[in-house]
Amino acid sequence: MNTTRRDLFKFVGGSVVGALFTPAPWRLVTDTALWSENWPGIPRPARGEIRTKFTHCALCPAGCAVRARCVGDQPVALAGVPGHPLSHGALCAIGLTAHHLPYHPSRLKQGPAGEAAQAVSAAISKCGPAQHAAVLDLRPGRTASWTYRRAMASVKHGLYLAPPSPFGGSVAFDLHQAKTVLSFGAPLLDGWGTPGNVIAARENFRLIQAEPLESRTASLADLWLPIRPGAEEALAQAIANVLADGKPRSPFAAQTGLTEQQITSVAEELAHNGPALVLDGGQIPAVMELNRRLGSLGRTIVARRETPVPESWKKAAPVTNLASVPDGSIRVLLIDESVMDAYLPWSMIERKLVPDDPLVVTFAWSRQGYARHAQYVLPAAVYPEIFDDIPPAIDSVAAVFRIAAPLVEPPAGMVNPSEFIGGLAGLPAADALRQRADAIHQAGRGTLFTCAGAKSVPVKEVKPDDFWKALNEGGCWLDAVDESGAGHRFLWPANADDEKRSSAPPEDLPLVAITCETRAAAAPLSPLMSKLYQESNLRLAANHAALNPATARACGVGEGARAILRTHCGSAQIEVSLDSGVPPGVVKVAAGPGIMDLCGASARAQVVPA
């Protein structure tokens, strides 16, 4: 008997019927469904004991206290520390996601450290008489800054540069004393000073925000004065006039775009509802004059003592304001951008370099910043890997000392800027922090706050080793407030770039570009920040710009259009969105390093379709 095709069919048919009465098909159906729960590509979070570590956030000068939730030793979530005397439990979006930074895709892994060191010493020896080898420290006042200054003191042609800062840095704005605060575009409620501290003080003062754009701060201020772009100085003058002789002088009042009545009422409020405080973004002399006239100096603007340093460190190079360095005089420039208070436009730095092949070395976590302009880019550890202290923020009245203790071990091949620069002068920089801590302990002033128990103890009652240990576990030293500060002589701010402001609007740059989101340009952002910049448009993403529909029409661009933004420093591509809340003639552009190089805080600009 031979098997026919029909037999085959019968057999198959039979086995199909039979199979239905076995677990096999049903189990397979279930299993495939279960497989879809854990198919390749879905990570399994590591389990383990949940521990808590404390540190301070080094991403901005606020240096907020951080409580890290760790699985084993790996931080999986960051949060603020409630009851902290400075940050009051607040932590911003950038700080909350900082534990992702070590794994950032665009993170630098290695760099030519040795090669750079040779190149630097070679270049230093080539320095001419009027030329310098300089360190640009984008967060002055740190222990590392002292190392740089000591190094530069002993290095030939050495120069220590810091960004322009109000009254040379030793001054604080005391919001808790103020009853009325007039802010000229200072992002008071969007990352200014120590956010937690500002919020804590917010209940007690009336906020008047004078600013062309309805920024976050403006929308939350008690009063928003929508002034013309660049009219800050004029308004300050006008208010000064009112305080002096009862009414604003016409030229200023007209320039501000406000009514005289508005200006007068603001001036009266400042005068009668004191203590007053006038803040501004880019230090304007007129504003400081206003503060003096309102008697803010010594009341809401107070001197802050230096955090103690070892005597042996005092022989250090002076702090030189970058703006006051003659152009074309720096042959070697070492930029420490591993931590950054604010991003300075490259043009501001570039013109200080010698024209013939200057050497620029930068310590960076990625290539996004000044690395774009440097010959040597050395990979630096990024918070929360770094071991560094954070100088007091602009709104902290007392001197403080807190350490960003590493939560994660930095990978191999990272270059420590202070060891590198200290090395140029043969300085051991490794235990500088410890020395500083001991110096503070010797001074014996102030109190130590420990996060674990959220309690403060006088430094005198703590042993040096415990002090150091506490600092490494997120402890924070607060100086006793200096009463003698009232008699402090305030040195007037060096006027940074007034030629730009005074010059008449050039015909080809009809618009004013105002940058927002400037903190995003200075601090590294976790990939998760896409929630704010990409998956929602809560914040304007880098290189995106908002225009008033009328302005956009005039420029020939529409919603979502790509366009070119031109300023006197060059041009960049932007993506346009329309917003009738933006004043006509203004480009509200979100800062990335590229845009900052282009516009700084604000600049004359032109928008043309790409």
Partner 1 sequence: MDKEFIARGVKRCSTPRFLLWILPWLSLLAFGLYSAGLCLVKGLNQTNMDNRFAFGLWIFLDLTVIALGAGAFFTGFLLYILKLKELRAVINSAVVIGLVCYSGAIAVLMVDVGQPLRAWFTFWYPNVHSMLAEVTFCITCYLTVLAIEYLPILLRNRKLREVPSFLVFEHELHKLVYVLAGVGTFLSFFHQGSLGGLYGVLRGRPFAFREGFLVWPSTFFLFIVSAAAVGPSFILLTTWLVEKISRKRLARPAVLELLGRISGLLLAVYVLAKTMDTLIWINRTSPDAGFPAAQYYAWRPFGTWILFAEIVLFGLVPALVMLAPWLRRRTGWLVSAAAMACLGVALNRFVLTVQTLALPTLAFDKFLSYWPSWQETGTFLAVVAYGVLVYSFSFRYLQLFPEERELKAEVRQEKEEELPAMAGRY
Partner 2 sequence: MIARYGMTIDVDRCTGCGACMVACAVENNVPPAHQGANDRKGITWIRVFQVNNGQDYPNRRSAFVPVLCQQCGKDAPCASVCPQQAVEIDPATGIVGQMPERCLGCRYCMAACPYHARYFNWWDPAWPAGMEKTLNPDVAPRMRGVVEKCNFCHGRWHAAIERAAANGRSIQAVDYVPACVEACPTGAIQFGDLNRPESAPARAARNGNSFRLLEKIGTDPKIYYRSTKDWVHRISSAPAPGLGKERSRG
Partner 3 sequence: MKHRGKIVFLAGVLAALGAGWIGFPYAIYQSRPQPVNFSHKVHADKAGSKCEDCHAFREDGSFAGVPSLDQCAGCHAAAMGSTVAEKNFIDQYVRPQRQPPWAVYARQPENVYFSHITHVKLAQVKCERCHGDEGSTDTLRPYRQDRISGYSRDVWRGMKMDDCVACHRRQGLEFSCLECHK
Q: How far apart are CA 311 and CA 308, in angstroms?
A: 9
- Give the nearest distance from C-beta 451 to partner 3 in angstroms: 18
Q: Which residues are paired to 565 by β-bridges? A: 572, 607
In the region spanning residues 17 to 36, those forming contacts with partner 3, defined by CB under 8 A, are 17-19, 21-25, 27-28, 30-32, 34-35
29 interface partner picked from partner 2, partner 1, partner 3, none, CB below 5 to 8 A per type: partner 1
Report, in Å, the least distance between residue 211 CB and partner 2.
11
Q: Is 28 in the site for partner 1 (CB under 8 A)?
A: no
DSSP element (H, E) containing 412: none
Residue type, 375: Q
Cβ proximity of 445 and 479 under 8 Å: yes
Cβ atoms of 178 and 277 within 8 Å: the answer is yes
Q: Which is nearer to partner 3, 4 or 484 (CB)?
A: 4
CA–CA dist 21, 15 (Å, integer)? 10
Looking only at residues 525 through 544 of this chain, which bind partner 2 when binding is defined by CB under 8 A? 526-532, 534-539
For the CB of residue 610, give the shortest distance to partner 1 in the complex, in Å: 24
The stretch near partner 1 (CB under 8 A) out of 31-39, 133-141, 168-176, 267-275 is: 31-39
CB closer to partner 2 out of 592 and 600: 592
How far is 366 from 378, CA to CA, in rounded Å? 9
Strands 602-609 and 562-567 come out as: antiparallel
Compute and round to an integer the Cα radius of gyration of the chain: 29
What is the per-residue DSSP string for 330-351?
A: EEEEEEE-SS-SSPPPHHHHHT
- Of 446, 464, 403, 440, nearest to 309 by C-alpha is 440
Beta-bridged to residue 429, according to DSSP, are none
Of 48 and 609, the one with the shorter C-beta distance to partner 3 is 48
Whether the CB-CB separation of 303 and 481 falls below 8 Å is answered with: no
Q: Is 200 helix (H, G, I), strand (E, B) or coil?
A: helix
Q: Could you say which of partner 1, partner 3, partner 2, none residue 22 binds, taking C-beta under 5 to 8 angstroms by partner kind?
A: partner 3
The rounded distance, in Å, linking the Cα atoms of 433 and 418 is: 11
Pick from 2, 46, 49, 356: which binds partner 3 (CB under 8 A)?
49
Among 326, 444, 581, 609, binds partner 2 (CB under 8 A): 581
Q: Please list every residue from 204 through 233 that binds partner 2, using CB under 8 A.
A: 214, 216, 219-220, 226
Segment interacting with partner 1 (CB under 8 A) among 26-34, 171-179, 385-393, 561-569:
26-34
Select 38 or 573, whichever has its Cβ closest to partner 3: 38
| CA-to-CA separations, 525 to 94, 377, 533, in angstroms, rounded | 6, 19, 11
Answer yes or no whether residue 484 interacts with partner 3 by CB under 8 A. Answer: no
Least gap, CB of 56 to partner 3 (angstroms):
25
Binding residue for partner 1 (CB under 8 A) from 1, 17, 21, 33? 33
Size of the site for partner 1 (CB under 8 A): 5
- Cα–Cα distance, 406 to 410 (Å, whole number): 8
Distance of CA 548 to the CA centre of its chain: 28
Residue 2's contacts (CB-CB under 8 Å, 6 or more residues apart) are none
Site size for partner 2 (CB under 8 A): 65
Rule CB under 8 A: is residue 537 a binding residue for partner 1? no
In sequence order, the 6+-apart residues with CB closer than 8 A to the CB of 295 are 274, 275
* Burial degree of 274 (CB within 10 A; 0-12, 13-18, 19+): middle
| The binder of partner 1 chosen from 9, 35, 103, 492 (CB under 8 A) | 35
Contact between 11 and partner 3 (CB under 8 A)? yes
Structure tokens at 26: 């049903």
Is 191 or 275 the residue whose CB approaches partner 2 more closely? Answer: 191
Of 40 and 114, the one with the shorter C-beta distance to partner 1 is 40
Minimum Å gap between C-beta 439 and partner 2 is 33
What residues are paired with 50 via a beta bridge? 71
Tokens of 240: 């000064």
195 binds, among partner 3, partner 2, partner 1, none (CB under 5 to 8 A by kind): partner 2
Q: Which of 5, 37, 105, 129 binds partner 3 (CB under 8 A)?
A: 37
Asked if 550 touches partner 3 (CB under 8 A), the answer is no
- Residue 73 as a binder of partner 3 (CB under 8 A): the answer is no
12 binds, among partner 2, partner 3, partner 1, none (CB under 5 to 8 A by kind): partner 3
Q: Check: CB of residue 178 under 8 Å from CB of residue 193.
A: no
How many other CB atoms are there within 10 angstroms of residue 550's CB atom? Answer: 13
Tokens representing 336 are 């420490």
Q: Taking a C-beta distance cutoff of 8 angstroms, is the pair 353, 328 a contact?
A: yes
Residue 42 beta carbon to partner 3: minimum distance, rounded to whole angstroms: 8
The phi and psi torsions of 322 (rounded to 5 degrees) equal: -50, -40
38 binds partner 3 (CB under 8 A): yes
Binding footprint of partner 3 on the chain (CB under 8 A)? 1, 6-7, 10-19, 21-25, 27-28, 30-32, 34-35, 37-38, 44-45, 47, 49-50
Binding footprint of partner 1 on the chain (CB under 8 A)? 29, 32-33, 35-36
Binding footprint of partner 2 on the chain (CB under 8 A)? 36-39, 41-48, 71, 74-80, 89-93, 96-97, 99-100, 102-105, 189-191, 195-196, 199, 214, 216, 219-220, 226, 526-532, 534-539, 548, 578-584
